[in-house]
Structures are given as C-alpha cells and as structure tokens.
Amino acid sequence: MTVRITLLHGFTGAPARFDRLSPMLSAASRALPLALPLALPLLGHGAPAPEVSSFDGEVDRLAVAITAAMPRGERWVVGYSLGGRLALGLAARHPELVAGVIAVGAHPGLADVAAREERRRADAELADNILSGGVQTFVDAWEKAPLFRSQRELPAALLASQRRVRLSHSREGLARSLRILGLGAMGDLRPALARSSVPVHLVTGAFDEKFSNLARGFSDAASHTVVEGAGHNVLLEKPEALADIVEALTRDHASPHRSLEARP
C-alpha cells in the first residue's frame, strides 16, 4: 500500500519549509512506495479559512483537505511545533483518517485550566503586539528566543531562507493564528490520545530540554526519539535524521514503540 504523508509547518512557517525534507523522504524510503508528500498551509499562514474559529475547527479543516487530496493509501501526518500540535489533534479527533502521526517539538496541550488561560492571555497580547508593531519587529525578537539558540551556528543562507518565509506573512494572519491556534486555545490532548488507536511518535532535539521532558512525560500515549545535535527545530537543523525516523516508522508502523536510531 502506498504511504501518503501530509506535512504541517510551524508558526511563521510555510509549506516551503519542507523543501529540504521532501526529497530526503523519497531517498530514505527503501521498503514502501511513498507518494510525493503533501505540504499544507495553516490558518494565518496563507490558508483561505475564514470559517475557522477554533483549534478543533482547524483540525477538522485539515482532515477534510487531507481526505480530498488522499482518498486512498496509508496516510501519515508529520508536523513541526504548531503543525505537530495539529497533527496530534488529527490523531485525537480523526483516528480513522491517519495511520500514524509524527510530531516534532510539539506540545500536547496544557492540562491545568489556569495555566491554559494565562497562556491564552499571553498569546492575545503577543497578537496585539504583532498588529501594532508589524511583522519585522516581531520576527527580530522571535529569532532571538532561547528556544532557537541552537540554530545560530547554521549556514547563513539557511537562516536567511527561514527569515524570508517568516517575513512573508501578514501581521493579521500571524495574529489570527495566535488567537485561534495558540497553545492556550487548545485543550489537553493527552487523554484522547491515550484512547486513540493511532500510533503517535514524538521527535525532539537533544538541546531542547523543555520539549524532550514533555515528551518523556507523555510516554503512556506516544513513543519518542531524541535527535542528537539538534534543538527545537529538528526539521531545520537535522532533516536527514528526521527523514530516517519517518522512513523507519512508516516501514514498520505495526511496532511504533520499538527503539529507533536517528542519524546524528
């Protein structure tokens, strides 16, 4: 059966962020026929979705888009950060749709209601700041976040390409994404994922202690691979290792909790 992969980008990202990974997936696939991956734009990042007003609504919109584009085959979803949270949402809300989910640097949702509301307020404040200050001012600050410290040694051309994508978005789109898809706007997906039959695999970079610890605490509902030499954005920093992980899981998805070795 042909494996069909949907790729979901992160906040300030775009489908083009998978341009390096997609050919690596084809090269890594040695055992199963792999269709050309489908990279979808998300709400606030070029997706025409005026009807979407909630995190679950965006998950449902993606489910419709994936079904339309992939009526047959074994569907997998690979998502980074925001895209990873939405991928987890697909496993929780539409388990009949996907054969497996691989979430890179993704949060499963805040269990504490007060913490969720606090994060919602913080996301709304950041959205207001983007609207008032503009995208470039936001991106300048965003790129200095400790979460992305490990990227500072990457080639200048690679970082410049990422920056161009970030700056290509509108302030209205990014603000809308924060308000509707921010961490504070989603529920805790862990209970639903624990009940789901969909194999879920989490990928984190070794330098990303926060998300690696989150993944370890999520071990009852997901398996986990740590990629050495990478931080939060394994997609950007170690795409070859991510391609190997995707290939291994889609090749042997009947045993998603087996040990995996990713290339450093």
Is residue 114 within 8 A of residue 41, CB to CB? The reply is no
Provide the whole-model pTM.
Answer: 0.93
pLDDT category at 220 given cuts 50, 70, 90 is confident
User: Residue 225: which domain range?
Assistant: 3-110+188-251
Inside any domain, residue 245: yes
The tokens of 84 are what?
């990873």
Inside any domain, residue 149: no
Alpha-carbon Rg for the chain in angstroms: 17
Inside any domain, residue 73: yes
- Mean pLDDT, to the nearest integer, of 144-164? 96
Inside any domain, residue 172: no
Percent of the chain with pLDDT over 70: 92
| CATH code: domain of residue 97 | 3.40.50.1820
Q: What is the pLDDT of residues 164-208, one digit of tens each?
A: 999 999 999 999 999 999 999 999 999 999 999 999 999 999 999
Please give the single-letter amino acid code of residue 37. P
SS (H, E, C) 2-45: CEEEEEECCCCCCHHHHCCHHHHHHHHCCCCCECCCEEECCECC
SS (H, E, C) 221-255: CCEEEEECCCCCCHHHHCHHHHHHHHHHHHHCCCC
Inside any domain, residue 203: yes
Pick the closest to residue 177 from 138, 108, 115, 127 (CA basis). Answer: 127
pLDDT category at 260 given cuts 50, 70, 90 is very low
**Cα–Cα distances in angstroms (integers) from residue 79 to residues 89, 106, 113, 202, in the given order:** 11, 8, 25, 10
The number of folded domains in the chain is 1
Inside any domain, residue 145: no
